[in-house]
Amino acid sequence: MILKSQVEWALHCCAILAGLPDGRYLSTKALAEFHGLPKEYLSKALQGLSHAGLVDTSLGPSGGYRLAKPPADINFLEIVEAVEGRQRTFICSNIRANNPCRPKDYCESSPCAVARIMWEADEAWREKLRGVRLSDLVGILSQEIPPQLWKSSFEWVLERAG
Amino acid sequence: MILKSQVEWALHCCAILAGLPDGRYLSTKALAEFHGLPKEYLSKALQGLSHAGLVDTSLGPSGGYRLAKPPADINFLEIVEAVEGRQRTFICSNIRANNPCRPKDYCESSPCAVARIMWEADEAWREKLRGVRLSDLVGILSQEIPPQLWKSSFEWVLERAG
DNA sequence: GGGGGCATACTCGGATATCTAGTGTCCGAGTGCTATAGG
DNA sequence: CCTATAGCACTCGGACACTAGATATCCGAGTATGCCCCC
C-alpha cells in the first residue's frame, strides 16, 4: 500500500502555486520543468486538483494553474484525496458472512469489528493530514530553504508565470 | 492506495487462531473454508505471518498454524505489516533536488518537509494500529457475535484443529 | 499383545500465470495573444 | 497612429499504450499419522 507518486508531485506543485502573486497562472510545462517531471503525466495530477476545485485553470498562452483558495484554507488531506481518491484504505469484503455455521436468516447489524478498527486508524491518518494547511508547509519551507535559493526559485517561477 | 485483501484475511484468521486451545494447530484449508476464501492464496497471507514470527507452523496431517504469542502480545500493526510490508506509505523521491536554480554543490541536510509531514500522518496511522491488541479484537467479537453462533463456530473449528 | 518400520496422505513453502491499477504518452478542442491590414 | 480581425501558438483535458504489483493457481519438499508386519 503505497501512495501514488502523483501525491508527492501535487503537494510540491501546490507549494509553488501558493507563492504565486494574485491573478497569475503557472503552466504544467513550467511546473514539470521545475520539478524535473514528465509534463504529460504531471498534468493528470493537476487535473485531479482542478477536478476537486482546489485550483483554477486558464487556457491559451500564459495560461495554467493557480490556487482557487488562499493557502491557509487548503489542507493536506484535500490535496491527497484530490489525487488519490476519497475511498478508505481498508475495504471490508465482509468475509464473516461466509461462516459455514451462520444461520441463513442471520443478518449482521453493525459493520465488522475488524473493519471498524482499521477505519479508525484510517481516520487518524486523515485527521493528521487535515490538520496541516498548505500555508504551514510554505512557512516551513521558507525557513528551511536557503534565502538565496528561495529567491532565485521565486524569480524563476515569476519569469514563466502568465 | 488500498490495503491488500490479504490484510483483512490475516486479521480474521488471527482472531480464529486466538481462540484455539494451547498446542492445537489449524490448517490453511480449514481457515479458507471457514472464511470462504481460496485456500492456495490465503496461504500466502499466512506465510507472511509465519515469516514475521507471529505464528508457528506444523507439517503433516493435523498440522497447520497457531499463534506464536498470546493474543495480548500481538497488535494490529504487527499483523498488517507482516502482510503489507514495513515500508512507509509515502515515498519521497526528493524531486526538490531537480530544482533548476539549485547550486550544484548544494546538498539537502534534512528530509523534505513534504515527506516529513506525510510520514507524521503515516506514523499516526501506525500508532493507532499499534494500540489495538489481538485480544481486544477477540473481546469485541465475543460481545458482538450471538452466543449461539460463537459456540457453533468454536466447535466447527475444534473439529478441524489438529 | 506390544513395538518398530514403512507407506501414505496431508501439511506448508516457494515458483509460476493472469489481471487490475498505476504509470507514461499521445492527440484534439478551446482560448488568449500577436501580428497584420484597414481606417 | 489606432482599432478590428484573422491566424497562431500555447493551454488544458480526455483517450490510448505500457508496466509493475496484486491476485490467483500449481507443484514439490517434508513430516506426523496410521497401518501393517514382525517379535
| Of A37, A93, A146, Cβ closest to residue B95 | A37
pLDDT for res A79: 98
Residue A75 CB contacts under 8 Å (≥ 6 apart), including other chains: A129, A130, A131, A132, A133, A134
* Cβ atoms < 10 Å from Cβ of B49: 25
Residue B44 has pLDDT above 90, yes or no: yes
For strands B64-67 and B55-58, give the pairing: antiparallel
Residue B57 has pLDDT above 90, yes or no: yes
* Cα(B80)–Cα(B10) distance, integer angstroms: 8
- Per residue of chain A (162 residues), what is the pLDDT tens digit? 899 999 999 999 999 999 999 999 999 999 999 999 999 999 999 999 999 999 999 999 999 999 999 999 999 999 999 999 999 999 999 999 999 998 887 878 789 999 999 999 999 999 999 999 999 999 999 999 999 999 999 999 999 998
Q: Are B8 and A93 in contact (CB under 8 A)?
A: yes
Q: Are A3 and B89 in contact (CB under 8 A)?
A: yes
Closest residue of chain B to A141, computed from CA coordinates: B113
A53: three-class secondary structure by DSSP: coil
pLDDT for res B1: 81
* Cα(B130)–Cα(A121) distance, integer angstroms: 10
At B104, the pLDDT band (50, 70, 90 cuts) reads confident
How many Å does it take to go from CA B101 to C1' C33? 29
Amino acid at B21: P
Cβ–Cβ contact A140 with B under 8 A: yes
Burial environment of residue B54 by CB neighbours within 10 A (0 to 12, 13 to 18, 19 or more): buried
pLDDT for res A162: 80
At B30, the pLDDT band (50, 70, 90 cuts) reads very high
Using the beta-carbon criterion (under 8 Å), do B90 and A1 form an inter-chain contact?
A: no
pLDDT for res B109: 79
pTM score, two decimals? Answer: 0.93
pLDDT for res A10: 98
pLDDT for res A156: 96
Residue B103 has pLDDT above 90, yes or no: no
At B82, the pLDDT band (50, 70, 90 cuts) reads very high
> Over pLDDT 90: what percentage of chain B?
90
Instruction: Identify the sign of the CA torsion A56, A7, A21, A33.
Output: negative
Using the beta-carbon criterion (under 8 Å), do B125 and A120 form an inter-chain contact?
A: no
pLDDT for res B81: 97
At B85, the pLDDT band (50, 70, 90 cuts) reads very high
* Cβ atoms < 10 Å from Cβ of B53: 11
pLDDT for res A47: 97
pLDDT for res B92: 96
Mean pLDDT for the stretch of residues B153-157: 95
